Amino acid sequence: MEVTLAKTAGFCFGVRRAVEKVYEQADSGKGPVYTYGEIIHNEEVVRDLEKKGVRVLHTEDELSALTEGTVIIRSHGVPRRIYDLLESRGIPYVDATCPFVRKIHRIVEQNSREGRKIVIIGNDCHPEVEGIKGWCHTVPFVVDSPETAAGLSLDEGTPVCIVSQTTFNYNNFKDLVEILKKKRYDRIVLNTICSATEERQSEARQIAACVDAMIVIGGKHSSNTQKLFEICKKECENTYYIQTLVDLDLKPFQSFRHVGITAGASTPNKIIEEVQKYVRNEL
């Protein structure tokens, strides 16, 4: 059995930075620690932080009710109003927003202030996109498919700034931009997909094209892992999406000679190593 592990599998810079910040606060002994939303989309990491006493806050009401402790702003970022809320109530916080996401906040804030309509290519329900929308001074538009791109109806010549969720599928981004170009808007197009995401997707595509089976490891709510699965599935029909080793059924792998492994940006190295070792030793 030959096993190929993607070099880009595992924590990206932004995720590693965010997780380290939470552990630093949890180990500091300075009082209760909270994250506003799950710090990253990985259930194993969130559970381990809970064991250290880190509590996840899910709503603004929970945030407003705090009387002590420190809040960690999640890697996906939050709307500007959350910063305003924390500062108005004097709640200490640590900003663990991914720097690449923070850059998008600055872009949409400036361009919307100048009067441009903001078009975000991404998943409208994803927390990163929710955060980006919260920095716009004009009503933003979210596009996630050819249908929503074709259905965008603004006057010809409208000033538009187009950005992307950092974990969006790069090829899909290009396709949607092409549709929007036909609208004849006065447009600025900024590819804000994280470079690590592009590299990860490109490597996954290359590996999946030359193996008998592909294993994609990541949290079930991880957008970038879902994109990896979609990309690999197009290249390799025998593609499997798992969260941990517990989810892996090796029965279908008995007839495969070459297996590829990749993982989302929020997947800990420990889980990746466990899966890789198990596949190598058991097949």
**pLDDT, tens only, 125-177:** 999 999 999 999 999 999 999 999 999 999 999 999 999 999 999 999 999 99
Has residue 283 got a pLDDT over 80?
no
Active site residue 128: yes
Specify the domain boundaries for CATH 3.40.1010.20 within the chain: 2-10+196-282, 100-193
259, with CB counted inside 10 A (0-12, 13-18, 19+), is buried
Q: Which amino acid would we find at residue 30?
A: K
pLDDT tens, position by position, 222-248: 989 999 999 999 999 999 999 999 999
Task: Annotate 44-65 with b (16+ C-beta within 10 A) or e (fewer).
Answer: ebbeebeeeebebbeeeeebee
CATH class of 2-10+196-282: alpha beta
What is the distance of C-alpha 167 from the center of its chain? 5
Fold of 13-97: Rossmann fold (3.40.50)
**pLDDT grade, residue 281 (50/70/90)?**
confident
Closest CA to 57 of 77, 74, 81, 80: 74
CATH code 3.40.50.11270 region(s) in the chain: 13-97
Angle at the Cα of 15 (from 84 to 162), degrees rounded to 5?
65
What pLDDT, in 10s, does the model give residues 186-224?
A: 999 999 999 889 999 999 999 999 999 999 999 988 989
**Catalytic hit among 128, 230, 237, 273:** 128
Q: Answer whether residue 30 shows pLDDT above 90.
A: no
pLDDT tens for each residue of 76-130: 999 999 999 999 999 999 999 999 999 999 999 999 999 999 999 999 999 999 9
Quick one: pLDDT at residue 154? 95
**Span 100-193 CATH architecture:** 3-Layer(aba) Sandwich (3.40)
